Amino acid sequence: MLTRRQLLAAPLLARRSSAVPIPRLPLVARHNIVYTAAQPNAPLAIGNGELAFTADFTGLQTFPDPTACYPLCTMAQWAWHSAPNPHGYSLDTFRFTPFDAHGRQVLYPVSPEGQQDAYRWLRENPHRYNLARIGLSLTTACEPLTQTLDLWTGLLTSLFTYSGRRIETRAACHPSLDALAFEIAPALPVILELPYPSPSLSGAAWNLPDPHTSLLTPLTTNSARILHTFDHDGCILALTWDSPAQLTPTGPHRFLLESHSNLLAFTIAFAPLSRTPSAPSPRRVFLSAARHWPQFWNSGAAIDTSASRDPRAPELERRLVLSQYLTAIQCAGSLPPQETGLTCNSWYGKFHLEMYWWHCAHFALWGRAPLLERSLGYYSSILPSAQATARAQGYSGARWPKMTAPDGRESPSPIGPLLVWQQPHPIFLAELCYRAHPNAATLHRHADVVFATADFLASYASWEPARRRYSLGPPIIPAQENHPPRETWNPTFELEQFYEALGLALLWRRRLGLPPVPLWQTVRDHLAPLPVRGGLYLAHENCPQTFTERNRDHPSLLAALGLLQGRKADPATMSRTLDKVLACWQWETTWGWDDPLIALTAARLGRPRTALDALFLDTPKNRWLPNGHTYQRPSLPCYLPSNGSLLYAAAVIAPTLQASGWGIHANGPLVETGHLR
């Protein structure tokens, strides 16, 4: 085990990667996905972070299978819809539940009792919607031959037989436009269908033709525009095609594109009503994708495990490569992603800001901070709303929502509004951006959010005069969500979060030449210690049953010295705690990010082999599909926090594995997360 001094030096150790370059093309290409049969429960997708398209074995969305766990969707970051609200449901009129917080009442929107309709509407709206279904018009059965996702070029190529002919389709997404290009040879007719928006998993209500309109406007002999409107909102589709073809309506929201030559090549671009979509030629889309993806793979860090003799090494490398691709197309947009990214709707398409860490922090650790910065500005956009929430609860600064949408409104929930582990995230993420770009511009860009966050953290902690300490909760629900809020206080992970985040905020003030905020320092200096019983850390101070009744869900107590540096933690105590978790936890209740979390703790404790074993724990939600996703349950057929947490953990684990002689080759700017050296 590393000594305390070595642990504190870990950020310096972790930055050391091999000076020998890793050839990126062979590393990436050996994990191209090749199917020789239909994979309805592991479909492939193309995208750019703002738009994603999930395809079946034809390379389009020809065979939507209601029995498959994945719907076939076309989703964009800007595509949100709110159902009509004739009753005016609003958080302003929602009845909140009072909780005692150290002698004063704080109100939270947690109960549907007596207001079920308002509760449901506020949770379901706004929701993401499915832009379109783009499929082939086939009259007889077809048989798949091969389907290949070329990760180096972003090209999805599909081969199948239809009516005795061999058909090839190619699909790609433009790297910076919401545009998809397709080629079909020999040409087959294409059906374009537009659904009414829905908060369902598919984001589409295909059986509601009346509440929306789809108006086709031909523009030239090879281009057209469709205006799709619903409930005072909508989107615009722009289509262009190369060869002689014709686009005609065949139903209220159904269009047929037929080619008059042997090749059908076309582009579909999407935009909200406020913008005019740009539909470049199919050739330009394919070329742009082919230029973009090598640039992506050649940027940032890389991890090569081909020299390892461990039989798990190829699988680890596959997961790392596919996770980089999936988070680039699903999580690297202008808004925080939902847990299923742009694949389908989880929780109505809303994003969970506590998961934002797992979705995007790894971009900075792998030397791709601009992909994090694309969405980090979201906090600034909802700062007034978060400040209003804090004021309404009697706190200072900004209290960030948990389950939310572009508007920043909290969604009613018995759990979400009482969580706090999403609160420090903006400080840590801003620091990662500063480490990538250590200049005044970065500081000024994020300072308002960092300082408003710190103001809330300091005011949220309650002073206990008898014990001369600041405590967190009650009420509070920790990251391990199975704890009653009125019976929970001083969770181990959240205490460490507040301590490190307040220290970072003070550091930001020093960098800007500003005086410290005395309350931030006082709260940090007097936070309650991490709770210990029997030589083990507890989930929280009032939880002696941590390893009996509560040994389920996230083992988040490990995150205090794992996800974070553990400045308040004792390594020996955490090592014993890790062993206890490994011995007694109910693994069937854990989630996709828990295994990388355990690996992080083991790595920071100087136990790289335990860390590696943790990544391969045989848990129900740690089973990786051929497309790189991890299935969690029917409402979460894919789970991007699994991918992001693996990449985050790898940035910490790789240097120690490399030093141990395991055979890993880490190359490029892998950046550790030691926030307070």
Q: Tell which wins on pLDDT, 8 or 226.
A: 226
Asked if the model's pLDDT at residue 566 lies above 70, the reply is: yes
421 and 562 together in one domain: yes
Question: Average pLDDT in the 88-97 region?
Answer: 97
What's the confidence (pLDDT) of residue 36? 98
What's the confidence (pLDDT) of residue 660? 84
Question: Average pLDDT in the 505-522 region?
Answer: 98
Q: Is residue 47 part of a domain?
A: yes
Q: Is residue 116 part of a domain?
A: no
Q: How confident is the model at residue 546 (pLDDT cuts 50, 70, 90)?
A: very high
Asked if the model's pLDDT at residue 676 lies above 50, the reply is: no
Q: How many domains does one find in the chain? A: 3
Q: Is residue 102 part of a domain?
A: no
Question: Average pLDDT in the 188-207 region?
Answer: 97
Q: What is the CATH number of the domain that holds 247?
A: 2.70.98.50
* Sign of the alpha-carbon torsion through 44, 49, 53, 54: positive
Q: How far is CA 167 from CA 44, 187, 459, 482, in A?
A: 18, 8, 64, 52
Asked if the model's pLDDT at residue 12 lies above 50, the reply is: no
Asked if the model's pLDDT at residue 175 lies above 90, the reply is: yes
- Strand extents, DSSP E, 495-584: 532-533, 536-537
151 and 75 together in one domain: yes
What's the confidence (pLDDT) of residue 79? 98
486 and 413 together in one domain: yes
Query: Could you give the CA distance from residue 380 to residue 453 in angstroms, rounded to a whole number?
Result: 11
Q: Is residue 621 part of a domain?
A: yes
What's the confidence (pLDDT) of residue 140? 85
Query: Could you give the CA distance from residue 298 to residue 306 in angstroms, rounded to a whole number?
Result: 18
Structure tokens at 468: 């001369």
Asked if the model's pLDDT at residue 4 lies above 80, the reply is: no
Task: State phi, psi for 639 to the nearest 5 degrees.
Answer: -150, 95
Mean pLDDT of the chain: 94
Q: What is the CATH number of the domain that holds 494?
A: 1.50.10.10
What's the confidence (pLDDT) of residue 503? 98
Q: How confident is the model at residue 570 (pLDDT cuts 50, 70, 90)?
A: very high
404 and 452 together in one domain: yes
Q: How confident is the model at residue 18 (pLDDT cuts 50, 70, 90)?
A: low
**Of 251, 273, 296, which marks where a domain is finished?**
296
Amino acid residing at 579: D
Q: Is residue 662 part of a domain?
A: yes
What's the confidence (pLDDT) of residue 10? 37
**Of 585, 619, 636, which marks where a domain is finished?**
585
Query: Could you give the CA distance from residue 483 to residue 550 in angstroms, rounded to a whole number?
Result: 8
Asked if the model's pLDDT at residue 674 lies above 50, the reply is: no
Q: How confident is the model at residue 19 (pLDDT cuts 50, 70, 90)?
A: low
Task: State phi, psi for 51 to the nearest 5 degrees.
Answer: -140, 140
CA angle 408, 414, 416 (to 5 degrees): 35
Asked if the model's pLDDT at residue 299 lies above 60, the reply is: yes
312 and 192 together in one domain: no
Asked if the model's pLDDT at residue 527 lies above 80, the reply is: yes
User: Reduced to 3 states, what is the DSSP secondary structure of residue 385?
Assistant: helix
CA angle 103, 107, 111 (to 5 degrees): 125
Question: Average pLDDT in the 141-150 region?
Answer: 96
59 and 151 together in one domain: yes
Q: How confident is the model at residue 243 (pLDDT cuts 50, 70, 90)?
A: confident
Question: Average pLDDT in the 590-594 region?
Answer: 98
Q: Is residue 157 part of a domain?
A: yes
446 and 538 together in one domain: yes
30-63 confidence digits (pLDDT tens)? 999 999 999 999 999 999 999 999 999 999 999 9
405 and 338 together in one domain: no
Question: Average pLDDT in the 604-624 region?
Answer: 96
Evaluate whether 648 touches 600 at the Cβ level (below 8 Å).
yes
Question: Average pLDDT in the 215-230 region?
Answer: 97
Residues paired with residue 170 on neighbouring β-strands, in sequence order: 157, 183
463 and 317 together in one domain: no
Q: Is residue 165 part of a domain?
A: yes
7 and 52 together in one domain: no
* Sign of the alpha-carbon torsion through 297, 299, 305, 307: positive
Question: Average pLDDT in the 123-130 region?
Answer: 98
Question: Average pLDDT in the 305-331 region?
Answer: 97
Asked if the model's pLDDT at residue 7 lies above 50, the reply is: no
Q: How confident is the model at residue 14 (pLDDT cuts 50, 70, 90)?
A: very low
Which range of residues forms the domain containing residue 633?
1-17+301-351+591-671
605 and 567 together in one domain: no
Evaluate whether 166 touches 111 at the Cβ level (below 8 Å).
no
Asked if the model's pLDDT at residue 126 lies above 60, the reply is: yes
Asked if the model's pLDDT at residue 156 lies above 50, the reply is: yes
What's the confidence (pLDDT) of residue 671? 57
What's the confidence (pLDDT) of residue 502? 98
**Of 296, 320, 336, which marks where a domain is finished?**
296
What's the confidence (pLDDT) of residue 659? 84
Q: Is residue 106 part of a domain?
A: no
* β-sheet with 142-150: strand ranges across: 33-35, 142-150, 155-162, 165-173, 179-185, 264-272, 233-241, 223-230, 212-220
269 and 330 together in one domain: no
